């Protein structure tokens, strides 16, 4: 579409012609993507100017320039965010316009009178809220912004020159620079004023907020669409790209402390889950049988037993499930929930209708894939395809996956890297046709049901620790401190929900490895992929995406996908709205702004009050690989001796670090997320030279012993080619 010299209103025939064209629609998408890229480039420039000014200011030759630059760039950044949001809204609206409004309008317009025709055109224009005035203003604004950018580039070049020969920089040159800066300031000021005149697209009728809030059992007993909605909730992302959170966090029943105190894991699961799931969705009896079935695969009668190390330190062992890692706790239940919902939906179908199926597809470098396979093996109407890079997962992990011979489980070994596998999976999900044909599903870590399943062991360990106290200690006098080895923030988020429900525990401790985005967040309130405060971090190797490879690989992440959920609550607590609904809307909008910054800019800094709130609930720390190894050794040498896996060791190291500051009544519960046999390399490295240590005798569980010799089933794919993978899925998936 080219701009005509004299702007006019967009008329219906114009619009029909323009939007019927696929290229135009593609252009709109492209333009938005390009806008995003251009913006992040601009941000980088703002940052590098700020850094160079700082260098210049350090010479103290004139009044400091950097604070002025910071103020200017802050203003300009805000403008840009607004542009971007506007662009997002407009492109969303255009898409909706093309796909739903136009076809209906066209139908209604056929054969109507002139008057109806004109009325409809007006409605369409109003829907687009694009007027001649709006278009003209927007264009002026854009021109000004572009002019500003050009000058900024020139200004930057001059500044860079000065900085590079800093020893000879004189006051006069800095004075000249300051004058130019004033000019730029004036321009930004003008753009801001002009910007105020542009009518905002009103966002109310575009689904734009990041969060779709799901109903909890308490508020909406309605039964109309719930099974379908539940299914979506189970599968993951909300349709608008956000994450689901419960509509309300339910409070514990009044008598929970006495009533639940001797409950088993299964009893507690039913009690906790039914606070969120209404009996219309899943009856109590059905829920109990699902939970029972899910945890019957665990080797320990307590499911997640609490192991005492000393009077003040306990380990909550989450690794007694089929794959020896904590993801089993959630995925065993999730598999049964999938099956349950599919069976129920299919039961409503007639005998001649084809049953509905689900095809779970995922890529793994180890743990998640095997936990998902064990969660879904043998489930009716579900098939699962897990891609792994051939020869690049540990032998134990590979054996765990490929020795599952159920007919619905398909391991695909791709002769390639993990990143390639992941790209293939992403491309499969993006392929609408393929997706619709096979009903693809994911079991990723943002799945709400996984979080919910994980709240249970916080309750269980709370009761267990109280029952293990020595005589003379009153249970009500102790304070429990949970220390959680953290990657995607799912496990600890479950603790946050438990605490919000009313579980009386102290601050929650986030323990990270060198991938410390979360530890840094609690330090200075910046959520940023790359540490802007530290000079260089050269001790550990970094892969292409910037993730650091550590001894605790299940926590090697760049950003924590569930952290978004906590940010929503922080935004909500500081929202200014009068009603709860207003506050929620505001929280969605705030979060949207924050996440957009992370997406475009690689970082966001949240307001200091919100950071303070986060600090009331959490402490965070980072543990290096050296400390991890030393901790494994220290606990092995301890009394009683305990062999921790490297993830657990990150938690133990953090716990030890906090101990001197803790009050006397604090009891620490460290979550143990994997069995040490799964990470034999790190454990052996930490304990080599310990004469008492024998890996096979001390660590290797009998269940894993025969595994390497068992029959395997795996489909080899020779190169990372999506069509080869599609062909495999086509030939095996249940349809």
Ligand X SMILES: *Cc1c(COP(=O)(O)O)cnc(C)c1O
Residues that bind ligand X (CB under 6 A): 325-327, 367, 445, 485-491, 554-555, 647, 673-674
- Identify the three-state secondary structure at position 671: strand
In angstroms, the CA 339 to CA 346 distance is: 10
> How would you class 224 by CB atoms within 10 Å of its CB: exposed for 0-12, middle for 13-18, buried for 19 or more?
exposed
Cα 209 to chain centroid distance, Å, stands at 16
The minimum distance between CB 320 and ligand X, in angstroms, equals: 13
The residues, ordered by sequence, that sit 6+ positions from 393 with a Cβ below 8 Å of its Cβ are: 364, 365, 366, 401
| Strand-by-strand arrangement of the 715-717 sheet | 440-441, 358-363, 382-389, 409-414, 715-717
**590 vs 672, which CB is nearer to ligand X?**
672
The minimum distance between CB 520 and ligand X, in angstroms, equals: 16
The minimum distance between CB 678 and ligand X, in angstroms, equals: 8
The minimum distance between CB 319 and ligand X, in angstroms, equals: 8
The minimum distance between CB 648 and ligand X, in angstroms, equals: 8
Q: Which two tokens stand for residue 326?
A: 């904590």
DSSP state of 548: B
**336 vs 488, which CB is nearer to ligand X?**
488
The minimum distance between CB 554 and ligand X, in angstroms, equals: 3
For residue 410, the cross-strand partners are 385
CA dihedral angle for residue 517, residue 519, residue 523, residue 529, rounded to 10 degrees: 0
- Would you call 327 a catalytic residue per the annotation? yes
**98 vs 325, which CB is nearer to ligand X?**
325
The residues, ordered by sequence, that sit 6+ positions from 157 with a Cβ below 8 Å of its Cβ are: none
**305 vs 490, which CB is nearer to ligand X?**
490
**342 vs 372, which CB is nearer to ligand X?**
372
The minimum distance between CB 147 and ligand X, in angstroms, equals: 47
The minimum distance between CB 327 and ligand X, in angstroms, equals: 5
**278 vs 486, which CB is nearer to ligand X?**
486
- Single out the catalytic residue among 327, 390, 633, 678: 327
Cα 59 to chain centroid distance, Å, stands at 43
**368 vs 381, which CB is nearer to ligand X?**
368
User: CA Rg, the chain, in Å?
Assistant: 29
In angstroms, the CA 18 to CA 24 distance is: 7
- Lookup result for tokens 């799945």: 447
- For residues 50 and 163, the answer to whether their CB atoms sit within 8 Å is no
- For residues 707 and 399, the answer to whether their CB atoms sit within 8 Å is yes
Going through 547-683 in order, the beta strands assigned E by DSSP cover 603-605, 618-622, 666-672
**307 vs 415, which CB is nearer to ligand X?**
307
Alpha helices, H only, 356-467:
367-376, 395-402, 418-430, 432-438, 448-467
- 3: how many CB neighbours lie within 10 A of its CB? 9
Give the residue numbers marked as catalytic.
Answer: 327
């Amino acid at each position: 579409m080219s701009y005509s010299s004299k702007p006019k209103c967009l008329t219906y025939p114009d619009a029909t012609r323009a939007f019927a064209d696929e290229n135009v629609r593609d252009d709109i998408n492209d333009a938005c993507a390009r806008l995003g890229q251009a913006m992040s480039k601009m941000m980088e420039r703002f940052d590098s100017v700020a850094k160079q000014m700082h260098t210049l200011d350090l010479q103290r030759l004139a009044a400091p320039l950097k604070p002025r630059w910071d103020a200017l760039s802050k203003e300009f950044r805000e403008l840009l965010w607004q542009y971007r949001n506007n662009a997002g809204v407009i492109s969303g609206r255009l898409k909706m316009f093309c796909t739903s409004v136009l076809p209906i309008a066209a139908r209604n317009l056929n054969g109507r009178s002139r008057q109806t025709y004109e009325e409809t055109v007006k409605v369409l224009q109003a829907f687009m809220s694009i007027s001649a005035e709006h278009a003209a203003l927007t264009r002026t604004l854009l021109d000004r912004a572009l002019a500003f950018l050009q000058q900024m580039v020139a200004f930057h070049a001059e500044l860079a020159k000065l900085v590079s020969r800093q020893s000879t920089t004189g006051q006069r040159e800095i004075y000249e620079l300051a004058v130019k800066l004033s000019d730029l300031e004036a321009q930004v000021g003008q753009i801001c004023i002009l910007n105020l005149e542009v009518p905002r697209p009103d966002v109310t009728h575009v689904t734009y907020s990041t969060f779709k809030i799901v109903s909890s059992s308490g508020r909406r007993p309605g039964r109309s669409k719930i099974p379908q909605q539940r299914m979506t909730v189970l599968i993951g992302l909300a349709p608008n790209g956000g994450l689901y959170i419960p509509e309300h966090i339910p409070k514990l029943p009044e008598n929970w402390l006495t009533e639940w105190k001797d409950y088993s894991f299964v009893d507690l699961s039913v009690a906790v889950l039914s606070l969120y799931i209404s009996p219309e969705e899943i009856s109590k009896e059905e829920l109990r049988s699902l939970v029972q079935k899910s945890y019957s695969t665990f080797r320990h009668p307590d499911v997640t037993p609490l192991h005492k190390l000393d009077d003040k330190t306990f380990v909550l062992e989450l690794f007694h499930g089929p794959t020896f890692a904590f993801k089993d706790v959630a995925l065993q239940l999730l598999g049964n929930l999938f099956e349950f919902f599919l069976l129920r939906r299919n039961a409503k179908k007639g005998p001649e209708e084809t049953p509905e199926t689900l095809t779970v597809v995922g890529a793994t470098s180890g743990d998640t894939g095997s936990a998902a396979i064990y969660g879904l093996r043998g489930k009716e109407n579900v098939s699962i395809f897990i891609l792994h890079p051939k020869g690049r997962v540990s032998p134990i992990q590979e054996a765990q996956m490929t020795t599952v011979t159920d007919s619905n489980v398909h391991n695909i070994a791709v002769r390639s890297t993990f990143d390639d596998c992941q790209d293939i999976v992403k491309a499969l999900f993006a392929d609408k046709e393929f997706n619709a044909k096979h009903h693809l599903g994911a079991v990723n870590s943002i799945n709400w049901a996984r979080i919910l399943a994980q709240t249970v062991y916080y309750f269980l360990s709370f009761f267990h620790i109280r029952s293990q106290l020595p005589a003379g200690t009153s249970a009500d006098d102790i304070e429990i401190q949970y220390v959680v080895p953290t990657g995607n923030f799912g496990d600890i988020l479950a603790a946050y929900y438990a605490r919000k429900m009313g579980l009386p525990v102290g601050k929650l401790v986030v323990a990270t490895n060198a991938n410390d985005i979360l530890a840094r967040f609690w330090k200075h309130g910046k959520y940023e992929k790359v540490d802007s405060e530290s000079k260089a971090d050269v001790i550990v190797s970094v892969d292409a995406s910037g993730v650091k490879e550590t001894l605790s690989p299940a926590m090697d992440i760049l950003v924590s996908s569930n952290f978004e959920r906590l940010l929503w609550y922080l935004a909500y607590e500081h929202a200014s709205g009068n009603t709860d609904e207003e506050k929620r809307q505001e929280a969605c909008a705030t979060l949207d702004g924050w996440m957009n910054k992370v997406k475009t800019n690689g970082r966001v800094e949240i307001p200091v009050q919100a950071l303070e709130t986060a600090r009331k609930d959490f402490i965070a720390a980072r543990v290096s690989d050296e400390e991890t190894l030393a901790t494994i050794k220290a606990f092995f040498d301890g009394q009683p001796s305990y062999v921790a896996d490297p993830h657990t060791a990150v938690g133990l190291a953090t716990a030890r670090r906090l101990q001197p500051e803790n009050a006397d009544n604090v009891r620490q519960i460290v979550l143990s997320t994997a069995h040490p046999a799964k990470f034999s390399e790190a454990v052996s490295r930490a304990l080599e030279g310990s004469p008492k240590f024998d890996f096979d005798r001390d660590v290797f569980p009998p269940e894993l012993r025969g595994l390497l010799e068992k029959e395997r089933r795996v489909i080899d794919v020779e190169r990372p080619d999506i069509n080869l993978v599609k062909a495999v899925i086509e030939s095996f998936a249940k349809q």
